[in-house]
């Protein structure tokens, strides 16, 4: 019997497949665990330890065959940890004191990880994470959570919450859709799903629990619905739609080589927004002309300690190299109280979006900023990188940041490292303050990039994640458009380039207006590139449209003008 659950479409598209539940709620699983007598628990631990060790052995051999040196080093360390006699002794002692086997493993691995906290060497200090990983691996095995098996393919992954890193690391071509119980349409998991072009439905709430492994479902992210056990005709209908979307996608991919130029010859650079270094591979397929926004938050998230210069360097270098001679704009850390990190120690704030975040943290925690800048400058040697500062509201912030960038250069010089000494430095224009100050800020910038999501929220005082007011959110509001126009003028009268990297840039409805305003670059999630390109190639440059749009009384009137 078919059943329909209603949620909210976050990434458009449809998919037909089987459910793969990703459960990450360890506490709940632990609570359900039926504990046996200590002798039985101890035997269970040994059995699982041997099983996981054998699996690791296989992965080690695999990595050796493929000559994956970095993976090999990690896997070998994991192998050593799982068989570690001191870890084992700690676990067994707890079990003999009537603790359940999974809890004993979890506790002991956490205690041992704690011993790494005051090691001076940063690399070794981070091995604490390896010990916790191994502990979790054993616990997952004991609780039967297991590592998800993607091999079957045609899967729709599903969870109350899904870790963004899990979506980032999905194997190619095995997963066709994403369902998230909680979650707004703009969570990080969704942003990555979007970059990967995976149809996504969010906000199913409790109903998400009704989705069990291997259930056949239809995911319609255009309608925001999930159909459980669809009847034959519905399934067929949707399979046909999936096929049509694939064909459309093929068509879009075929546009990748064509230039983004209007019928009357006005060109605009279409760049990609990426979050995970690997996103660049997908973005290049869609014909991106460089990267207009590389969100570096993912380097910082999902971990217990700050990423090292080396780790950041590797991530940035990967993307910069892939961009070749095209520009790769790297935005420095944009984190605040809404995505707290264990090592940042941000106090709970009433208004994290108006709080200690992004450049405000970087200018105080200069250790974090310096490390990131040094990694960017070193990676810049491999291509054409630019630094973009988020959340700017004043000239002083830019000057201070530039002083730190100079300090990073002189440190790299004395360390004898290779780095780029000539690099474009620009800002995100995402606060009304920055937009109004652009005539002044332009003197110290090599470029502007307008972040329309935050600029709209801050200008209209609307939290778009709040369902009671989200209908008031629109970048087409004339107030926002006027700030955008001021920014474009300030850039061009100071001979610097101006781009847009908010979601508006990827909306084909906006293309005619943005081209008319004179944008040099539009940066968007990869799947939007061909759609915007198709639009740009079908229009003419219409300067008069700007004046008309700016003089409208509300967002609705502006959009009417554009469609």
Applying CB under 8 A, does 84 fall inside the site for another protein? yes
Positions 478 through 497 that interact with another protein (CB under 8 A): none
173 versus 416: smaller Cβ distance to another protein: 416
Between residues 84 and 400, which has the closer beta carbon with respect to another protein? Answer: 84
User: Quick one: 123 or 251, whose CB is closer to another protein?
Assistant: 123
Catalytic residue among 158, 288, 362, 501: 501
Q: Do 22 and 193 contact (CB within 8 A), yes or no?
A: no
Binding of another protein by 61 (CB under 8 A) = no
Residue 313 interacting with another protein (CB under 8 A): no
By CB under 8 A, residue 73 contacts another protein: yes
Query: 383: helix, coil or strand?
Result: coil
Q: Tell the smallest beta-carbon distance from residue 73 to another protein (Å).
A: 5
Q: Which of the stretches 80-88, 288-296, 517-525, 544-552 binds another protein when contact is defined by CB under 8 A?
A: 80-88
Residue 191 touches another protein, criterion: CB under 8 A:
no
Task: Report which secondary-structure segment, H or E, holds 545.
Answer: helix 544-550
Q: Which long-range contacts link 510-513 to residues 24+ away (Cβ below 8 Å)?
A: 510/475, 510/476, 510/562, 511/535, 511/536, 511/539, 512/539, 512/542, 512/545, 512/562, 513/481, 513/545, 513/546, 513/549, 513/558, 513/562
DSSP class of 347: P
Structure tokens at 359: 């450049």
Question: Token pair for residue 434?
Answer: 């920055």
Task: Closer to another protein by CB, 74 or 301: give it.
Answer: 74
- Kindly state the number of chain residues that form the binding site for another protein, as judged by CB under 8 A: 23
Q: Does 60 bind another protein (CB under 8 A)?
A: no
CB 410 within 8 A of CB 370: no
- When binding is defined by CB under 8 A, the residue of 81, 95, 217, 260 that contacts another protein is 81
31: CB partners within 8 A, 6+ apart: none
Q: In degrees rounded to 5, what are phi and psi of residue 304? A: -100, -20
To another protein, the closest distance from the beta carbon of 298 in angstroms equals: 23
> At its nearest, how many Å lie between another protein and the CB of residue 299?
21
DSSP string, 473-523: --TTSHHHHHHHHHHHHHHHHTT-EEEE-SGGGG-HHHHHHHHHHT-SEEE
Nearest to 200 by CA among 466, 13, 461: 13
Minimum distance from CB of 382 to another protein (Å)? 22
CA distance 177 to 217: 10
Catalytic residue among 140, 188, 362, 477: 188
**Which of 42, 111 has the CB closer to another protein?**
111
Q: Which of 80, 153, 205, 467 binds another protein (CB under 8 A)?
A: 80
CB of 125 to another protein, least distance (A): 8
Pairing of strands 8-11, 200-202: antiparallel
Residues ≥6 apart with Cβ < 8 Å to 130: 74, 77, 78, 81
Report CA dihedral (60, 64, 68, 73) to the nearest 10 degrees: 50
How far, in Å, are 155, 217, 228 from residue 224 at the CA level? 18, 13, 13
Binding letters toward another protein, positions 87-116, x by CB under 8 A: x------------------------x--xx
Applying CB under 8 A, which of residues 77, 145, 370, 545 lies at the interface with another protein? 77
Decide if residue 86 touches another protein (CB under 8 A).
yes
Q: How many CA atoms lie within 13 A of 297 on its CB side?
A: 23
Shortest approach of another protein to residue 83 CB, angstroms?
8
350 contacts another protein (rule: CB under 8 A): no
- 131 vs 428 by CB, closer to another protein: 131
Nearer to another protein, 117 or 263 (CB): 117
Are the C-beta atoms of residues 207 and 14 closer than 8 Å to each other?
no
The stretch near another protein (CB under 8 A) out of 81-89, 328-336, 388-396, 406-414 is: 81-89
Q: Find the part of the chain contacting another protein (CB under 8 A) among 79-87, 150-158, 484-492, 523-531.
A: 79-87
- Tell which positions 121-160 bind another protein, by CB under 8 A: 121, 123-124, 127, 130-131
Is 188 designated active site? yes
Q: Which of 1, 34, 67, 120 binds another protein (CB under 8 A)?
A: 120
What is the C-alpha separation between 392 and 334, in angstroms, rounded?
A: 11
Catalytic site residues? 188, 501
Chain residues in the site for another protein (CB under 8 A): 73-74, 76-77, 79-81, 83-87, 112, 115-116, 119-121, 123-124, 127, 130-131
């Amino acid at each position: 019997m078919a059943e329909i659950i209603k949620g909210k479409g976050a990434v458009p598209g449809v998919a037909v497949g089987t459910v793969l539940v990703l459960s990450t709620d360890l506490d709940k699983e632990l609570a359900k665990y039926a504990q046996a007598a200590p002798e039985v628990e101890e035997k269970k631990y040994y059995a699982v330890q041997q099983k996981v060790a054998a699996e690791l052995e296989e992965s080690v051999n695999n990595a050796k065959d493929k000559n994956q040196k970095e993976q090999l080093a990690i896997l070998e360390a994991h192998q050593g940890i799982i068989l570690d006699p001191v870890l084992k002794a700690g676990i067994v002692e707890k079990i003999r004191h009537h603790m359940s086997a999974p809890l004993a493993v979890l506790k002991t691995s956490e205690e041992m990880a704690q011993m790494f906290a005051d090691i001076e060497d940063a690399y070794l200090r981070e091995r604490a994470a390896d010990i916790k990983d191994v502990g979790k691996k054993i616990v997952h095995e004991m609780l039967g959570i297991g590592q998800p098996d993607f091999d079957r393919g045609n899967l729709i992954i599903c969870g109350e919450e899904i870790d963004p890193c899990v979506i980032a690391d999905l194997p190619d071509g095995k997963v066709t859709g994403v369902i998230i119980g909680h979650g707004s349409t703009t969570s990080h998991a969704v942003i990555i799903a979007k970059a990967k072009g995976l149809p996504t439905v969010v906000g199913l709430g409790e109903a998400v629990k009704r989705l069990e492994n291997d259930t056949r479902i239809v995911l319609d992210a255009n309608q925001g619905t999930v159909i459980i056990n669809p009847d034959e005709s519905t399934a067929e209908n949707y399979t046909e739609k999936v096929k049509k979307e694939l064909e459309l996608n093929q068509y879009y991919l075929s546009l990748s080589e064509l230039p983004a130029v209007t019928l009357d010859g006005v060109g605009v650079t279409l760049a990609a927004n990426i979050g995970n270094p690997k996103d660049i591979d997908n973005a290049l397929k869609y014909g991106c002309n460089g990267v207009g926004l590389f969100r570096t938050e993912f380097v910082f998230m999902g971990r217990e300690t700050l990423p090292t210069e080396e780790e950041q360097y590797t991530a940035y270098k990967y993307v910069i190299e892939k961009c070749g001679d095209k520009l790769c704009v790297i935005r420095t850390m944009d984190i605040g109280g809404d995505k707290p990190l264990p090592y940042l120690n941000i106090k709970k704030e009433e208004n994290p979006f108006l709080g200690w975040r992004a450049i405000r943290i970087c200018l105080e925690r200069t250790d974090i900023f310096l490390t990131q800048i040094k990694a960017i400058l070193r990676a810049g040697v491999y291509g054409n990188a630019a630094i973009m500062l988020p959340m700017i509201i004043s000239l002083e912030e830019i000057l201070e940041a530039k002083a730190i960038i100079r300090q990073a250069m002189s440190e790299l010089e004395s360390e004898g490292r290779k780095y780029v000494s000539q690099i474009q430095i620009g800002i995100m224009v995402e606060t009304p303050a920055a937009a109004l100050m652009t005539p002044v800020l332009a003197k110290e910038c090599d470029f502007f990039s307008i972040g329309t999501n935050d600029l709209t929220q801050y200008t209209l005082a609307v939290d778009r994640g709040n369902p009671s007011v989200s209908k008031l959110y629109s970048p087409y509001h004339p107030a926002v458009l006027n700030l955008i126009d001021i920014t474009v003028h300030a850039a061009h009268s100071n001979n610097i380039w101006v781009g847009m990297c908010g979601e508006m840039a990827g909306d084909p409805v906006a293309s005619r207006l943005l081209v008319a305003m004179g944008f040099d670059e539009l940066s968007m999630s990869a799947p939007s590139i061909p759609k915007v390109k198709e639009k740009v190639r079908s229009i003419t440059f219409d300067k008069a449209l700007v004046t008309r749009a700016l003089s409208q009384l509300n967002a609705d009137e502006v959009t009417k003008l554009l469609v």
